[in-house]
Chains A and B, each alone.
Chain A
Amino acid sequence: MSVAISVAVGVLAGILGGMLGVGGGTIAVPGMVLLLGTEQITAQGVSLVAILLTALVGAFVHYRQGNVKLSVVLWIAPSAAAFSLLGAWAAGVVSAEWLTRAFAIFLLLIGARMLLPSRGGQSVSAS
């Protein structure tokens, strides 16, 4: 049963990841925590390995289509990796409750940004 759920969570995460360029971890982590009762930190570890696998496949496909700017990758990657190391270390230091809260607050912000119109064209009814 939990195998079926984990595959289903993965499929959903992959679909959204492929469509919006987001959603990999934001679907996989809560899916594991809420549906499978996985510890927050373990869910994050699993999510990162799954993201690595899908990013390898996705980047390869995009690279062949000429959609990867290598100069930008080489420029951003070192600092991104260094901060990733810092973040991964910090996740092991804070308490499980605060790690879950930090994740939830991040999701709230992302959710709000998605619901607000992103470009100038669409405006909410004028006040």
Chain B
Amino acid sequence: MLAGFLGIGGGLILVPLLTGFLHLNQRKAHGTSLAVIIPIAIVAAAVYALRGDVNWALVAGIGSGSILGVVIGAKLMMKIPERRLRQGFGVYAIVVAVLMLVRSAGIV
């Protein structure tokens, strides 16, 4: 539901559920979550595309970038401690959330 509404994958919610309730290890949870995301993304992307809410030129840029990024990310993963990464992402998320709230309030 969140995935379709907010345009995100759902891995943020799926991975903790899979490790917490089903006791999958981190690797299995990550792999399984990616497989579950496929039907979620197919359904949601189809709704957006039919409504005309997909800019295909942007898809080409973002899509090619992300596939490259996943490959780089898998290699970098060994070099940066996960705690650091989580902290960095946490700070990023809060800063961006505030920027988006300010923007949607029409101040900027």
With a cutoff of 8 Å between Cβ atoms, the chain B residues found around residue A126 in the complex are none
With a cutoff of 8 Å between Cβ atoms, the chain A residues found around residue B97 in the complex are 104-105, 107-108, 111
Q: Is the CB of A112 within 8 A of B100?
A: no
**Residues of B within 8 Å of A, CB-based: how many?**
82
Contact of A107 among B39, B72, B74, B94 (CB under 8 A): B94
**Alpha-carbon gap, A49 to B5, bound state (A):** 14
**Residues of A within 8 Å of B, CB-based: how many?**
93
Q: Is the CB of A15 within 8 A of B45?
A: no
With a cutoff of 8 Å between Cβ atoms, the chain A residues found around residue B64 in the complex are 7, 10
Q: Report A124 CB to chain B, min CB distance, Å.
A: 13
With a cutoff of 8 Å between Cβ atoms, the chain A residues found around residue B103 in the complex are 33-34, 100
Sample of 26 A–B contacts (CB below 8 Å): A10-B66, A12-B69, A13-B66, A17-B70, A20-B85, A22-B15, A25-B9, A29-B7, A34-B96, A41-B53, A45-B7, A48-B45, A51-B41, A52-B42, A54-B66, A54-B70, A55-B35, A55-B38, A58-B31, A68-B31, A69-B31, A72-B36, A77-B36, A84-B3, A84-B41, A98-B104
